[in-house]
């Protein structure tokens, strides 16, 4: 096993010294290879994409904010090709090794970022999250992950995927470190943690494998009163179908010029891009109307001070590698779970709450739009505690 767990992009490391001093003095961070670092080619995990790019002239604003706050950049990390996967497998550049379960997948598409943090190679890492690409690897690798409210952090200098769902997020081993760095990115004051009204999404837990759901429920026993609710409004399949359609149409639009060149993708990714390009644009109008109504429903369900509890992934990390029926079952559940926040632009903090068969399990704390600071404070405070023995 490589001493860097395969987390970093092959070749010379993109290292940068801090450009200022502040709350992140002494901390290190890594950057997913969808995010620009000045002087470095952003490969997006695909050689054909890399061949079309020049070195970035400037770093993405989120990178600059961390450098100005005193953090040191230690390298760019592997991503699934153009972020189109939740597994962490990369056909071209290698699949990072999950430090918590070396025979299992690291999760994607922010695979290298989660691995770098879990292995202690960086204190923090930037990732991106469209349909779960921070939350799933955070769960599989046993670290904390934050997907912000859509639009709260700039996406300049980041390869677009499905823009109305795309966010740039953050991973860290410890919740207080995640909070400190997230506050730097947000540029806002730290919130005071206050115990919220907990809503356990029973229909979301039903999508997880029974043993995983049971382990998470058991870990919630000391959280105080927890109400059970239905987040999917009786239609989980609609959440998945809407996401697959709207995301696919956006991928086809945002990457149209690149896809028209006929780039090569790994064998599991090629059918996904072909499928996105084959979607009928007319289908988007129906699902967009559904999304607007569903967003309103979720916002009503999650007023300030309310937090929904959702499995970050449907299971512990699957063994390397996912294929055929096993892959289909995993994606059906994982994308449905991930789409809750995506459709409504909601903030999420995934916390490593439990273990099963020696592997981590994450729980997502989902709140209404703009509640990022409260979620981060909850994760860093006494209301949310890591499981004993971690």
Query: Which positions are catalytic?
Result: 32, 109, 133
Q: What is the DSSP letter of 108?
A: S
Q: Is 48 exposed, middle or buried (0-12, 13-18, 19+ CB in 10 A)?
A: middle
Radius of gyration of the chain from its Cα atoms, rounded to whole angstroms? 19
On the CB side of 42, how many CA atoms lie within 13 Å of its CA? 20
Tell me phi and psi for residue 356, to 5 degrees. Answer: -150, 125
In the chain, which ranges are E strands? 28-32, 72-77, 124-129, 144-147, 167-172, 197-201, 226-229, 306-311, 348-356, 359-366
Q: How far apart are CA 49 and CA 361, in angstroms?
A: 34
Listed residue (191, 215, 33) closest to 108, CA to CA: 33
CB 171 within 8 A of CB 137: yes
- What angle do the packed helices 61-68 and 175-186 form, to 10 degrees? 110
β-bridge partners, 147: 348
Tokens 């405070």 correspond to what residue? 381
CB 351 within 8 A of CB 362: yes
Is cis: bond before 47, omega within 30 of 0? Answer: no
Listed residue (249, 109, 89) closest to 169, CA to CA: 109
Handedness of CA 164, 168, 174, 177 (dihedral sign): negative
Q: Which two tokens stand for residue 234?
A: 């009786």
Q: How far apart are CA 105 and CA 220, in angstroms?
A: 26
């Amino acid at each position: 096993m490589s001493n860097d767990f395969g987390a970093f992009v092959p070749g010379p490391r993109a290292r940068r010294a801090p450009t200022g001093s502040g709350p992140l003095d002494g901390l290190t961070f890594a950057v997913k290879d969808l995010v620009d670092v000045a002087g470095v080619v952003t490969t997006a995990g695909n050689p054909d994409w890399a061949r079309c790019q020049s070195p970035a002239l400037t770093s993405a604003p989120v990178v600059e904010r961390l450098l100005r706050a005193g953090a040191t950049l230690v390298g760019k990390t592997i991503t699934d090709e153009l972020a189109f996967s939740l597994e962490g497998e990369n056909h071209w550049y290698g699949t990072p090794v999950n430090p918590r379960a070396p025979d299992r997948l690291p999760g994607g598409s922010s695979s290298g970022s989660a691995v770098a943090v879990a292995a202690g190679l960086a204190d923090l890492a930037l990732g991106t999250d469209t349909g779960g690409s921070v939350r799933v690897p955070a769960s599989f690798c046993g670290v904390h992950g934050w997907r912000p409210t859509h639009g709260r952090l700039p996406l300049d200098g980041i390869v677009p995927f499905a823009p109305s769902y795309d966010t740039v997020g953050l991973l860290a081993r410890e919740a207080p470190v995640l909070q400190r760095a997230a506050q730097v990115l947000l540029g806002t004051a730290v919130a005071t943690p206050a115990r919220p009204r907990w809503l356990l999404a029973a229909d979301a837990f039903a999508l997880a494998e029974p043993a995983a759901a049971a382990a998470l429920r058991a870990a919630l026993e000391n959280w105080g009163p927890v109400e059970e609710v239905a987040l999917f409004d009786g239609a989980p399949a609609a959440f998945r179908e809407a996401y697959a359609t709207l995301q696919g149409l956006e991928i086809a639009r945002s990457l149209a010029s690149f896809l028209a060149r006929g780039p090569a993708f790994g064998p599991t990714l090629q059918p996904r891009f072909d499928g996105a390009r084959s979607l009928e644009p007319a289908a988007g109008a129906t699902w967009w109307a559904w999304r607007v109504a569903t967003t309103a429903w979720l916002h009503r369900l999650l007023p300030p001070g309310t937090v929904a509890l959702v499995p970050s992934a449907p299971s512990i990390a699957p063994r390397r590698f996912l294929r055929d029926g096993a892959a289909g079952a995993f994606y059906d559940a994982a994308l449905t779970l991930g789409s809750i926040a995506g459709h409504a632009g909601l903030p999420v903090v995934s916390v490593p709450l439990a273990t099963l068969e020696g592997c981590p399990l994450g729980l997502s704390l989902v709140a209404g739009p703009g509640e990022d600071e409260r979620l981060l404070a909850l994760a860093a405070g006494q209301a949310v505690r890591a499981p004993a023995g971690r």
